[in-house]
Amino acid sequence: MAAKNIIRFFVLLLLQVLVFSNINVNGYIYPAFYVYFILLLPFEIAGWLLLILSFLMGLGVDVFTNSLGINAAASVFTAFLRPGLIRMLKSKKEYEPGISPGIKDLGFRWFFFYALILISLHHSALFFIEAFSFKDILQTGNRIIASSTATLILVLLLQFLFYKQDKR
Amino acid sequence: MRNLIAFLWKNYFFFLFVILEVFAVFLIVNNNYYQGRVFFNSTNDVTGKILEKYNNLTSYFALKNANKILAEENARFYNMHPESFIKTDTLAFFVNDSIYLQQYKYISAKVISNSISRRNNYLKLNKGQLHGIKEDMAVVASNGIVGQVIEVSDNFSSVMSILNTNARVSAKLKTSNQVGSLYWEGEDYQMGKLVDIPSHVRFNVGDTVVTSGYSYTYPEGQVVGIVEGFDIDPGDSFFQIYVRFSVDFNKLYYVYAIQNIFKGELIDLEQSDIKE
């Protein structure tokens, strides 16, 4: 379990800085796909580990993209809100031990809202910190909506891909 | 005391969150300071290596376009070559070498990472201190200016592109020589904004905008872009001119870093002006 998450950490970090950070669609869409790592951390993870890992993930992306601290701040913010959100989104199945966040264990509906809310929070934090003001709020809003949508689609696609594989 | 520790321990999740956020904000705010740079300079070499490896792989797919741009550039150099000129008046071409002192030094480099979608965009180049790149050198592509070196490690350098809300370039209209300040608004990666041009100046859409050379960084006359439109607020005495960049920032492969050899001398002179 731990090994899986460690591998995912590095794979997502490299994917982000080598692929997704280079996606340029009319300057608005910046899919911060690495947030997928935070989404998929197991339920029973200790709070401190959740925060530290998210921080390291953000910092890793920052070091590559010359945006020191911005992604780290947004990631820690997301990680901080995650336990509360999980408590709020009660599913029909209880969070039994051995269950992990994903379509496979908790169904599409649950995962869709979970991903939607966390990704929106993360991207809102990211783009507001990047702009560092509420001045161009409309432009920042557009960025948040466009990029969150892109990230959400990518996350759901990847979930389905692995869901299908596990079924076989 | 025991209560305090118990309280902290109970709410450690919140406090750890606050500590990490404060640290992150500290990093953001200090991002432009030298100290923060020094710490991350060492990692810069590592990330640079990884990006270069990746770039070696992907640059293959961009070869066709890069070749085209290089060929166009070669053609332009041939146009400047003495052999391309006919001597009509021997006096006009009299050149005594000792009159000319080289002021700008060009170093070619390859772009290994680049972005256009952030508010503050940066590039990384595959050359650094060992190749003669220094901080504050200008960076130009074959068809226009790109940015300014802000950080160098031994083998790599970071460039603040003009697609950066902190970047300012002293630019002028080529036809009238009126100087203004050019910056990027953070939205369309192809458009910049030239301000401080007084409202009495006449110019046309399609006029060329070039660097003024006043900042000592960019040589004079480097192409920035082309006037695409303008605005003037009622009661304002300055134009806001929209400039389409001549460089396609989404397609940068090879660039030149330019060193102004006399920059130190010029700045010393300026400072002695201020003292008096």
Residue A76 tokens read as: 């820690």
Choose the mutation target among B15, B17, B120 for the interface with A, i.e. most A CBs under 10 Å: B17
Please say if the pLDDT value at position B39 is more than 60: no
Of A30, A63, A77, the CB nearest to B43: A63
State whether residue A134 sits within 8 Å of chain B by CB.
no
Cross-chain residue pair B20–A65, CB shorter than 8 Å: no
CA–CA separation, B214 vs B220, rounded Å? 8
Contact B224/B247 with Cβ under 8 angstroms? no
Q: Chain A partners of B13 at a C-beta cutoff of 8 Å?
A: 47-48, 51, 80, 83
Q: How far is CA A124 from the centre of its chain?
A: 12
Tens of pLDDT, residues B115-161: 888 888 888 888 888 888 888 899 998 888 999 998 898 888 999 99
Concatenated DSSP letters of B217-253: SSPTT-EEEEEEEEE--TT--EEEEEEEESS-GGG--
Tens of pLDDT, residues B245-265: 999 888 888 888 888 877 888
Q: How far is CA A153 from the centre of its chain?
A: 12
Contact B146/B125 with Cβ under 8 angstroms? no
Cross-chain residue pair B122–A66, CB shorter than 8 Å: yes
Mean pLDDT of chain B: 81
Concatenated DSSP letters of chain A: -HHHHHHHHHHHHHHHHHTGGG--BTTTB---TTHHHHHHS-TT--HHHHHHHHHHHHHHHHHHHT-TTHHHHHHHHHHHHHHHHHHHS--SS---TT--SSHHHHHHHHHHHHHHHHHHHHHHHHHHHHHTSSTTHHHHHHHHHHHHHHHHHHHHHHHHHHHHHHH-
Of A51, A64, A129, the CB nearest to B17: A51
Please say if the pLDDT value at position B12 is more than 60: yes
Tens of pLDDT, residues B55-70: 777 777 778 777 777 8
Q: How many CB pairs under 8 A join A and B?
A: 98
Domain ranges of chain B: 1-31, 44-162+252-275, 169-245
Nearest 5°: phi and psi at B32? -95, 0
pLDDT at residue B61, as a whole number:
75
CATH 3.40.190.10 applies to domain B44-162+252-275: no
pLDDT at residue A94, as a whole number:
64
Query: Which is more confident, B235 or A168?
Result: B235
pLDDT at residue B180, as a whole number:
92
Burial of B88 (0-12, 13-18, 19+ CB in 10 A): exposed
CATH of domain B169-245: 2.40.10.350
Segment B75-96 mean pLDDT? 54
Cross-chain residue pair B25–A68, CB shorter than 8 Å: no
Residue with tokens 């590039």, as numbered in its chain: B123
Angle at A37 between CA A31 and CA A40, to 5 degrees: 120
Segment B211-237 mean pLDDT? 86
Q: How far is CA A162 from the centre of its chain?
A: 17
CB burial readout A29-44, b (16+ within 10 A) else e: bbbbbbbbbbbbbeee
State whether residue A13 sits within 8 Å of chain B by CB.
no
List Cα–Cα distances, A10 to B47, B98, B228, in angstroms.
Answer: 14, 58, 45
Cross-chain residue pair B120–A130, CB shorter than 8 Å: yes
Of B118, B161, B169, the closest CA to residue B248 belongs to: B161
Q: Chain B partners of A65 at a C-beta cutoff of 8 Å?
A: 115, 118, 122
State if pTM tops 0.90. Answer: no
pLDDT at residue B87, as a whole number:
47
Residue type, B230: F
Cross-chain residue pair B47–A21, CB shorter than 8 Å: no
Determine which of B75-89, B166-180, B211-225 has the lowest per-residue pLDDT on average. Answer: B75-89
Cross-chain residue pair B13–A51, CB shorter than 8 Å: yes
Question: How far does B189 lie from chain A, in Å, by closest CA?
Answer: 7
* Cβ atoms < 10 Å from Cβ of B133: 22
CA–CA separation, B230 vs B193, rounded Å? 9
Please say if the pLDDT value at position B112 is more than 50: yes
**pLDDT by residue, tens only, chain A of 168 residues:** 678 888 989 999 998 888 888 776 666 788 889 999 999 888 888 888 999 999 999 999 988 887 778 899 999 999 999 988 988 887 656 666 677 788 887 888 888 999 999 999 999 999 888 877 677 788 888 889 999 999 999 999 988 887 665 554
Please say if the pLDDT value at position B239 is more than 70: yes
Residue type, B144: G
Cross-chain residue pair A24–B117, CB shorter than 8 Å: yes
pLDDT at residue B90, as a whole number:
41
Q: How far is CA B19 from the centre of its chain?
A: 35
Of A100, A119, A120, A102, the closest CA to residue A160 belongs to: A102
In what helix (H) or strand (E) does residue B193 lie, and over which residues does it extend? strand B191-198
pLDDT at residue B94, as a whole number:
43
Look up the ipTM and state it: 0.79
pLDDT at residue A77, as a whole number:
94
pLDDT at residue B193, as a whole number:
92
Cross-chain residue pair A67–B120, CB shorter than 8 Å: yes
Of B54, B117, B187, the CB nearest to A30: B117
CA–CA separation, B255 vs B167, rounded Å? 18
Instruction: Please check whether the two domains, B44-162+252-275 and B169-245, share a CATH topology.
Output: yes
Please say if the pLDDT value at position B96 is more than 70: no
Would you place residue B43 in the very low, low, confident or very high pLDDT band (cuts 50, 70, 90)? low
List Cα–Cα distances, B13 to A74, A84, B98, B167, in angstroms.
Answer: 16, 12, 71, 39
Question: How far does A117 lie from chain B, in Å, by closest CA?
Answer: 19
Question: How far does B175 lie from chain A, in Å, by closest CA?
Answer: 31
Closest residue in chain A to residue B40, using alpha carbons only: A63
Question: How far does B217 lie from chain A, in Å, by closest CA?
Answer: 22
